[in-house]
Amino acid sequence: MIGSRRQIGLIGFVAFVWLSTRLFGSVRAILREIFDLRQSRGVIQGKIFDAQMVLVSSVLVILNIGITIVFNLVKTRGFDFVGLSAAQVGLVERVSAWFTALAFIFLLFLLLYKYVPARRVPWRMALTAAAFTAVCWELLKVGFAFYLTRVASYQSIYGGIATLVVVVVWFYYLSIVFVLGAEVAQVYEMRRVRRQQIEVLE
């Protein structure tokens, strides 16, 4: 039984790494087209880079989850060591949790937009894309949670694979937001360059 669980765990880990590297490979290709970058990595170098990005992204997600757990503990127990109850820190906890989650997601998207393309994009573009995508991410989470709890009935329609369907739908909408963020940054940068050219001509 233990051996079977280990084999299943190993297979799951390998599948996760393979799918994740494929995902980052697709992200590299999309950003290369949006940012009009002709330079690209080789196959082996690209796979190594994708694996590195999977590791970094996983660490950030784990930290995000860990901080969320800490905030939940604070919400239920409060800061007893300084004399603050859970009710007193409720608002502070919610605001702090939201900003912390936003900061981690912003950092994750910033790393993706800045370092995933083979040629480094300007920091201004990466910051613009990350800020737009991070805010849309938070809004998407709220809207998607409301949709799942108040509108959709995936469990009654899809049965046992409802969780898988929800994950696929979530990543579909997230991919749209990610691509839209890159497009917004590219348009913003093009407009900025055009304004500078007009000012020079004038």
φ/ψ (deg, to 5) at 8: -65, -40
What digits encode the pLDDT tens for the residues 1-45?
A: 555 666 766 776 666 667 767 777 777 777 778 877 765 666 677
Distance, CA of 26 to CA of 16 (rounded, Å): 15
Residue 112 is encoded by which pair of tokens? Answer: 């993706």
Distance, CA of 181 to CA of 136 (rounded, Å): 9
Distance, CA of 93 to CA of 85 (rounded, Å): 12
Mean pLDDT across the chain: 73
Q: Is 91:75 a contact under the CB 8 Å cutoff?
A: no
pLDDT of residue 130: 93
Q: Quick one: pLDDT band at residue 112, thresholds 50, 70, 90?
A: confident
Residue 55 is encoded by which pair of tokens? Answer: 């590791």
pLDDT of residue 131: 93
What digits encode the pLDDT tens for the residues 138-169?
A: 888 777 777 767 655 655 555 556 666 666 67
Cα–Cα distances (Å) from 172 to 29, 40, 140, 167, in that order, read 17, 25, 12, 9
φ/ψ (deg, to 5) at 200: -65, -40
Taking each helix axis from N to C end, the angle separating 162-201 and 90-115, rounded to the nearest 10 degrees, works out to 70
Among residues 5, 33, 12, which one has the least CA distance to residue 116? 33
Distance, CA of 8 to CA of 27 (rounded, Å): 28
Distance, CA of 187 to CA of 190 (rounded, Å): 5
